[in-house]
Amino acid sequence: MGEFELLARIRAQLPQPGPRVRLGSGDDAAITVPGGATATSVDGLIDGVHFQRRWSTPEQIGAKALATALSDLAAMGAEAGEAYVVLGIPPDLDEDGCLELLGGILGMAQKADTTLAGGDVVRAPALTLAVTVVGHAQSAKELVARSGAQPGDTLVVTGELGGAAAGLLLLESRPEARSSFQPHNSKNDGHAALLARQLEPQPRLKEGLALAAAGATAMIDLSDGLGGDAGHLAAASGVGMRMEANAVPLAAGLDEIATAAGRDPIELAIGGGEDYELLAAIPAGKLDAAAAAVEALGGTELTQIGEVVAGEGVEIRQPDGVLLPATGFDQLG
């Protein structure tokens, strides 16, 4: 099947566009009438770097590609709007595989109330996805940047950390674990829950909106690890960040997997990445309201892990006073 035939089949499966889209996929460009302020993020994923086809289904790859891009909008406190996907197809991905991948993208788009408004397909030596997402707010003031944290703010995270890194260790060390994992199965538990964090991440869009409305001064999604991403937040805001290692909420099952791999669980949670939770700075007087707003959504909690201070850099201190390295994943490292 050629490029245009594949594009036609893809377009035939697209649902009706969202209210801001006047002209969607099928023309030279999409036409949107957003109003207010927009936040735009671009993400790239490539086989062997951001996912592995040997242990991910095409559906999971498509969903993860969109989810990780939408996580950037969550960190801005933006409402998800439109997505545009460029798919680089390798020789060994057939038509059915392409359509299954599209199904994953559309499934995540439906969950996140996002319109797939356009894109392209090209030939590539490895499966590659370039995803652009656009989020919306009534005004730019409603959006949360990385640069607003102030000394005295409280540092909080959504959910639990380390699950995705533990899931990756499982996939690398125990390939048989993948064969028993059932996608979208609410009965998954134990190791399957860790695999789900790696294979099927979920963007914290509602939580990002709640934190923005509650007065978050700065926010970032934890794609590269708590240590590294906190460093980005501190540098952008021109402040220091001090955290307590024993306050970091750890994913259930992390201890077992990390210990079996000869890794320290807390260091894996801090530096492992791909959790796609949110790290936010909240004025101390607004902490209770922010926690209540997030918990009211169901499914996750807000945990206080430290504070913003004058100075620079990130310190993560253990109960005995020893500092842990504030590391994270470096795309070019």
Q: Residue range 12-26: average pLDDT?
A: 68
Lowest-pLDDT range of 25-29, 133-137, 192-196: 25-29
Whole-structure pTM value = 0.90
Q: Domain 154-324 falls in which CATH fold?
A: Phosphoribosyl-aminoimidazole Synthetase; Chain A, domain 2 (3.90.650)
DSSP class of residue 256 equals H
DSSP class of residue 51 equals B
pLDDT at position 25 over 70: no
Is residue 309 within 8 Å of residue 238, measured between CB atoms? Answer: no
Q: Residue range 51-68: average pLDDT?
A: 94
Lowest-pLDDT range of 66-70, 131-135, 173-177, 299-303: 173-177
As a whole-number percent, the residues of the chain with pLDDT over 90 amount to 77
Cα–Cα distance for residue pair 240/279, rounded to 1 Å: 14
Output the six-digit token pair for 214: 């509650």
Question: What angle is formed at CA 109 by the lines to CA 103 and CA 115, rounded to 5 degrees?
Answer: 110
Q: For position 178, what pLDDT does the model report?
A: 67
pLDDT at position 332 over 60: no
The CATH architecture that domain 3-142 belongs to is: 2-Layer Sandwich (3.30)
Q: Residue range 82-88: average pLDDT?
A: 95
Domain ranges (residues) in the chain: 3-142, 154-324
pLDDT at position 24 over 70: no
Residue 206 C-beta-side C-alpha neighbours within 13 Å: 14
pLDDT mean across residues, the chain:
90
288: pLDDT confidence band, cut at 50, 70 and 90? Answer: very high
pLDDT in tens, 154-183: 999 999 999 999 999 999 887 666 665 655
Cβ atoms within 10 A of the Cβ of 203, count?
26
Cα–Cα distance for residue pair 124/117, rounded to 1 Å: 22
Q: Can you tell me whether residue 317 is helix, strand or coil?
A: strand
Domains 3-142 and 154-324 share a fold: no
pLDDT at position 333 over 70: no
Q: Tell me the Ramachandran region of residue 313: left when phi exceeds 0, alpha when psi lies from -120 to 50, beta otherwise.
A: left
pLDDT at position 112 over 90: yes
Output the six-digit token pair for 206: 């509602």
Q: For position 230, what pLDDT does the model report?
A: 97
Q: For position 186, what pLDDT does the model report?
A: 42
pLDDT at position 5 over 80: no
